[in-house]
Amino acid sequence: MFEPTSVYTPAPNRYAPDSPVQYRRTGTSGLKLPSVSLGLWHNFGDNTPYETMTSLIFTAFDHGITHFDLANNYGPEPGSAEKNFGLILKKSLTAHRDELIISTKAGYEMWAGPYGDGGSRKYLLSSLDQSLTRLGLEYVDIFYHHRMDPETPLEETMGALAHAVTSGKALYVGLSNYDGPTLEKATALLDELHVPFIINQNRYNIFDRTIEKNGLKDTAKKLGKGIITFSPLDQGQLTNRYLDGIPADSRAAHDPRFLKASDLTATRIQQIRALNDLALQRGQSLAEMALAWILQDSAITSVLIGASKPAQILDNIRALENTEFCTEELEKINAIAESR
């Protein structure tokens, strides 16, 4: 394991008032999140060099990104992202813990057997204890239920989230991959338990409008809950990577777990090209415009980005320099996304 040879000192201007990274209130709560947060779904497993992981974390924090998002099963192997991030915290960021928002989740399969998946009290609280051990922390700032579980009573799942807070192991709770009706029922239960439920985490981008259709976006706004989005670039589709088809060295050509070659139809590539043309008219790359499009919406608190190298974080931050869209631009984006 790589051992740092010098003490990390964060950039002194990371909270400069003119920084592109600004802080948005999470719904009607008192917590603010950076407009861009760093997700550790990829590139923080045991197959990534420690030096790469530290450079990503340091670059993000140096530029005002204070929120780092994990889940129990992020890796590979499951649990390794929490373990590796915990090591970076211990070695380099202990003095800055109170400047950080650290979130984790449980809901997908984490270990074998009947108690390592879903929404039961047994699974959620056991998983949280394991996550805290890997992270080397006494508490996380936000603990999410990672997905709806129709086989577990909602009262049981929300009761487990409440216990996470009352036991001092989480400051706030969140829900991920919920729809509008279930969110409303969950909110009523958490309100009765006086639980600080503040945020929803859902997939959302120009091409994927699920939260507009399943009631999540409108319900979250009505109830005063924040939304943090993931997959803002739709697995690379909202970049200039696929303007001319599928490159031989691309993810779509080699890793169908995320983006399948069959997703990149002639119609989709035509859509990508049209969006790219609009982005160029705005003086942005397609990726920058895709991020800006999410953040122009006041219902969104923050957008989660992923990165394999520091330059990608800086590229994403540049999107924050122009998040204003005129009505005509928004209408064009919608028309392109809806075209078939």
pLDDT in tens, 125-153: 999 999 999 999 999 999 999 999 999 99
List CB contacts of 263: < 8 A, sequence separation 6 or more.
237, 252
CA separation for the pair 132, 85 (Å, rounded): 11
| Structure letter (DSSP) for residue 165 | H
Residues in a beta bridge with 227:
200
Cis check: omega of the bond before 76, within 30 degrees of 0: yes
Three-state SS at 19: coil
Of all residues in the chain, the percent with pLDDT exceeding 90 is: 90
Q: At what angle do helices 310-318 and 50-62 cross, to 10 degrees?
A: 30
pLDDT at 246 over 80: no
* One-letter identity of residue 105: K
Domains by residue range for the chain, with CATH: 23-236+289-323 (3.20.20.100)
Stretch 257-283: mean pLDDT: 90
- Give the number of other Cβ atoms within 10 Å of residue 175's Cβ: 28
Look at strands 32-34 and 23-25 and give their pairing.
antiparallel
Considering only CA atoms, which of 326, 293, 301, 118 is closest in space to residue 224? 301
pLDDT in tens, 277-322: 999 999 999 999 999 999 999 999 999 999 999 999 999 999 999 9
Tally DSSP H helices, then E strands, for the chain: 12, 10
Strands in the chain per DSSP E: 23-25, 32-34, 36-39, 67-69, 101-106, 140-145, 170-176, 197-203, 226-230, 302-305
Integer Cα distance of 81 and 44 in angstroms: 5
Entry pTM: 0.95
Specify the residue for token string 């590139």.
Answer: 43
